[in-house]
Amino acid sequence: MGIVFHLDIVSAEESIYSGPVEFLVAPAQMGEVGIYPHHTPMLTKIKSGMVRIKAQLKDEEMIYVSGGMLEVQPDVVTILADTAVRSHDLDEAKAIEVKRAAEEAIRNRQSELDYAKAQAELVEAMAQLAAIDKLRKRKH
């Protein structure tokens, strides 16, 4: 049994992952960050993208997150995500529809609030589509 640390990934809706892992890679605000056991404590914002998790004796698992915070403590890493979805639960058709609707709302903006909401939805949909594309390429 190798050296591990405990990882919790929590969104506003649910706890999506909790358990020991060997390492993880997360989309930090300034670029991807790799976390291994005994990593220096830190706190950073995360952006939309995939969190790659390697648990003992298991294949690498991927979870899509859209923003939030990453906290590293001596034996525990916590990701508090705005949204978190297991990679196999990402819905490409839904993301394409959200992207299309957001682009339409931006073109026909009624107010600054509508425009800001549409921009946020567009960024989220594009990040999900990029994550789906990345997953597709990894399989080949």
Say what the pLDDT of residue 23 is.
Answer: 94
Q: Are residues 14 and 46 in the same domain?
A: yes
Q: Are residues 133 and 76 in the same domain?
A: no
Distance CA 77, CA 37 (A): 10
Q: Is the model's pLDDT at 34 over the cut of 80?
A: yes
Q: Are residues 14 and 66 in the same domain?
A: yes
Q: Which residue has the higher pLDDT, 134 or 14?
A: 14
Cα dist from 56 to 2, 61, 64, 92, whole Å: 8, 11, 20, 30
Q: Are residues 82 and 95 in the same domain?
A: no
Q: Is the model's pLDDT at 39 over the cut of 80?
A: yes
Q: Are residues 107 and 39 in the same domain?
A: no
Q: Is the model's pLDDT at 106 over the cut of 60?
A: yes
Query: Mean per-residue pLDDT for 24-42?
Result: 94
Q: Are residues 66 and 100 in the same domain?
A: no
Query: Mean per-residue pLDDT for 52-65?
Result: 88
